[in-house]
Amino acid sequence: MANELRPCPCDIGDRFDYGGRGQEVQVEHIKAYVCKPPAGTDKAVIVIHDIFGWQLPNTRYMADMLAANGYIAICPDFFVGQEAWKPSNDWATFNEWLKTRNAGKIDKEVDVILKYLSEQCGAKKIGVIGFCWGGAAVQHLMLKNPHLKTGVSLYGVIRFFEDRSSLLHPTFFIFAEKDDHIPLEQVTLLEQKLKQNCKVDYKVKIYPGQTHGFVHRKREDINPQDKPYIEEGRKDMINWLNKYL
């Protein structure tokens, strides 16, 4: 299990030096980063950030990648103005910090973003992806939000919603083999529960040798041994969205 002194082993990884091709907008009470594809589309993806918040360049890089693949991508501030976690923070305070940021209490914000995507962007088919904290939020939304078509949960924290597996929409779960925070026994248990209870298409995939955050918090150019898996994870994510949106 994870070291209790560091309940989340999320180091920030390789922080990208990346400015982003999109723009920041205000959507009712939420700030959000939006990037649109060159050609018009009615397909959109909500990107749910990890503990490092909506302004992390790595997450914006992923949103821009979705836009380059033909989706309107929006990454809202699901902490709604509360500070994101900083690598310099004391990990002993992490659980207290987390109590005020519940991945299962984002429904109001999601409704606001869905309305914006539909009314302002012309989106008709909307999916969601999320990383770590955001990956758990994806699982929550796939269990209850009827307006989303599909989801991709990337190393979502299983223990947040481990007792619930009756998904409403096709969901793809991406996990890392050497994730200090999500033991493989938890992944196996999730698979068993999905097999028993899930009536929609789902997939659980474990990427060999990888650690927590590999798809968006590692750079291929400085992690050559991880490059094939980083690229595979990103490609799998896009292929899943292409299939269901």
- Give the tens place of pLDDT for each residue, 42-54: 999 999 999 999 9
What's the confidence (pLDDT) of residue 182? 94
Residue 194 structural domain? 23-244
Residue 1 resides in a domain = no
Residue 93 resides in a domain = yes
Residue 101 resides in a domain = yes
The enclosing domain of 57 has a CATH number of 3.40.50.1820
- Give the tens place of pLDDT for each residue, 5-37: 444 445 555 566 677 899 999 999 999 999 999
What's the confidence (pLDDT) of residue 163? 76
Residue 11 resides in a domain = no
What's the confidence (pLDDT) of residue 176? 96
Q: Tell me which of 8, 132, 169, 226 is the catalytic residue.
A: 132
Please enumerate, as own/partner, the contacts of 3-8 that have beta carbons within 8 Å and a separation of 24 or more.
Answer: 3/180, 5/91, 5/92, 6/91, 6/94, 7/91, 7/94, 7/95, 8/51, 8/91, 8/94, 8/132, 8/157, 8/181
User: What are the residues whose beta carbons fall under 8 Å from the beta carbon of 216, sequence distance 6 or more?
Assistant: 50, 58, 59, 61, 62, 131, 154
Residue 192 resides in a domain = yes
Residue 12 resides in a domain = no
Q: Tell me which of 50, 64, 77, 179 is the catalytic residue.
A: 179
Structural domain total, the chain: 1
pTM: 0.93
14 is catalytic: no
Q: Tell me which of 49, 140, 169, 212 is the catalytic residue.
A: 212
90 is catalytic: no
Residue 224 resides in a domain = yes
Residue 3 resides in a domain = no
8 is catalytic: no
